[in-house]
Structure 1
Amino acid sequence: MAPPIEFGTVWRCVGIHRRYGNELPLWLCDEPTTAFRDAYKRARGMLVGVGYSWTDRGHDQPRLVACWWDIGVTVDVAALRAEVDRVVAEAASEREAKARREEERHVLDVAQTEIAAPPIRSALRTLLAERPWTLGRALTEARDLAAAESWTSWGLRSAERYLDNAAGNIRRAEERLGRPAPALWFARAADPAVRVAALEACQHLSSLDTDWAADRNSIGWSQATCWTGHVLSEREALDQGEAAHALALLQGHRLQLADELNVRLFGEAPKRRRRAKPDAPAGALLV
């Protein structure tokens, strides 16, 4: 005997299993429908009375599975179906009403948000166009948000957070540049030619830094130097203190700079590891 109501899904018999001391045929439903869940929630007593339930028997799933036990009772299928149809329809009606209310709230939210959104959207788009590096790992999300035709209040709060975080990144970089620079680099930055080279090097690294230190790929600035490096690269010229800070940052990125630029900055080119020839014996160097 199969389950009296299928609930629009597939049931399979998995043999005889023990339930409350009795050996009974067990049917399982691996994918219970919304109709079954609604009916079980709203007419549980009736369904349990004719054998429907959830079980850990007859399967190896790490969860309970919808089931029907053939408990041997006579089922008034018509009455059962009528009650199931009633509670399922009731649940569907409540979901539709809830969906309408949520849509109405969404429409109102969008309308109210659009009153405050234009200046925030404009500021975010300007930031994306002119200083995308300030957004760091939030860049993709910020771009998607700026491209959206309309915002909810959540989108507005997100945009404000992106702008605040960007401003904080810039502020922290400026604060770092306002601190006394290391004496060694400050002395070297007294040379105008070194200051010019430092700005050139900063701008070069910023041009390479297309991921804004999101990936550890040894290209562009690092996470520790990103914000300050980009702030320096935006300067038209560096004073002695700024150039000294630039030198302190650049020393960790010397291998990304040309030898000629390293000589102008530090007085010498860094030692570079030579690559082994592809077809050379192990330990051979490319010369």
Structure 2
Amino acid sequence: MLSLLILVIAAAGVVAPVLLAAVAASRGAPEPAASVPAPIGAALPVAALGLTWRRHRAVLTGRGPRVLWLGEGDDVRYGRAYKLARETLRDVGFSWGTAESDNGVMQPVCWEDPAAPEAAMDYALAAADEALAEDDERLAAEAAQALRNADLDAALNGEARRADLAALRESLDTQLWAWGTRKRQVAEALLAEAPGAGGVPRSGAARLARDLVAEVEAGIAATRARAAEHPDQDWLTRADDPAVREAVHAAVRVLTALDEDQASVRNRSGWGQSHSRLGHVLAGLETLSVVEASHALAAVHRHRRQLPPDFRRAVFGTEA
């Protein structure tokens, strides 16, 4: 009796889904996806296209029964293969999709057709692997050529680029007063940048270094030109005295020597930011012309309290 009951239950488990499907079809209703079983033995290669494939569920689609597989792992290789052999892979069901109808994460999927010949899947995977191998060869050849180009570039342009960075370093070390804060930060970043192939500075870094140094030199030249061509009328008469010109030039050099921070810190020592470039430019001249001395007098007068009384007397005729 128990054996007969088990037999009836087993038969019901096979027949009932078939009867339910027939009734649903007679009423014009779509068959539920869960009613389509996955075919026995259906499977993708475990590591196809660099992923681990997991059977998710059987689905009845508008194109017939399919088995949905999810690709798990690093999908970089799959993405390359799909780009290189898209049509071939799509023909056997590979694509990008989500496991759930909403809020799912895009990932590699395969809608396997259980009725398709096994050779079709094998052919598609082989074609993708071949496309990847050819692409790997292309990338390797491009990398090798890029390395050869970099070596050649280093041999042809290395010394010039090193010279550009050395000139930048020298300008910062000797003329920091002529560098604005922003330019100074950019210059220091360039000098700290890792070199390119062969230990040679990159072309962009060398070009920017040249441009920065040229801008600073142009600024210094403009300051020198203004100091030489456009006198400070308030001090022009006193600058006409040779003794005053000599005394104010010495005072300029004293204040420049005190300007160790090159006007980068407000410490009442040396020049302020408004006179730093002019002061350093004038201090570097062998002698001062009348026009240059008129600017020197204006600049020194602004910072006169840093000078000893005898300096103030020699420059301005009074210690006050």
Normalising by structure 2, what TM-score?
Answer: 0.55
* 1:177 and 2:227 aligned: yes
Structure with the higher fraction of residues in helix conformation? 2
Query: How many residues of Structure 1 are paired with residues of Structure 2 in the alignment?
Result: 253
Q: Deviations over 1:234-259 (max 9, x none)?
A: 345655533443465678xx6xx684
In structure 2, stretches of 5+ residues that fail to align are: 1-37
Task: Give the whole-Å Cα distance in 2 for the aligned partners of 1:245 and 1:96.
Answer: 64
Task: Give the whole-Å Cα distance in 2 for the aligned partners of 1:25 and 1:77.
Answer: 14
Q: Give the corresponding residue for 1:91.
A: 135
CA 47–156 in structure 1, closer or farther in 2 if over 3 Å, else same: same
Q: Give the corresponding residue for 1:67.
A: 108
* 1:208 and 2:261 aligned: yes
Q: Give the corresponding residue for 2:84.
A: 42
Q: Give the corresponding residue for 2:148.
A: 104
Instruction: State the secondary structure of the residue aligned to 1:67.
Output: strand
CA 155–72 in structure 1, closer or farther in 2 if over 3 Å, else same: same
Task: Give the whole-Å Cα distance in 2 for the aligned partners of 1:14 and 1:235.
Answer: 83
> RMSD value over aligned CA atoms?
5.1
Shift of 1:70: 3.9
Normalising by structure 1, what TM-score?
Answer: 0.60
Task: Give the whole-Å Cα distance in 2 for the aligned partners of 1:227 and 1:128.
Answer: 13
CA 54–259 in structure 1, closer or farther in 2 if over 3 Å, else same: farther
* 1:140 and 2:188 aligned: yes
Structure number, greater radius of gyration: 2
Q: Deviations over 1:136-163 (max 9, x none)?
A: 4243255458999535655654454344
* 1:197 and 2:247 aligned: no
* One-letter amino acid matched to 1:105: N
Q: Deviations over 1:69-102 (max 9, x none)?
A: 5465657543333222211111111000001111
* Identity fraction in percent: 24
Q: Which stretch of structure 1 is more off in the superposition, 74-83 or 143-152?
A: 143-152
Task: Give the whole-Å Cα distance in 1 for the aligned partners of 2:239 and 2:287.
Answer: 12
Quick check: 1:55–1:67 contact (8 Å CA) kept in 2? yes
CA 194–14 in structure 1, closer or farther in 2 if over 3 Å, else same: farther
Task: Give the whole-Å Cα distance in 2 for the aligned partners of 1:168 and 1:58.
Answer: 63
Quick check: 1:43–1:84 contact (8 Å CA) kept in 2? yes
Instruction: State the secondary structure of the residue aligned to 1:208.
Output: coil
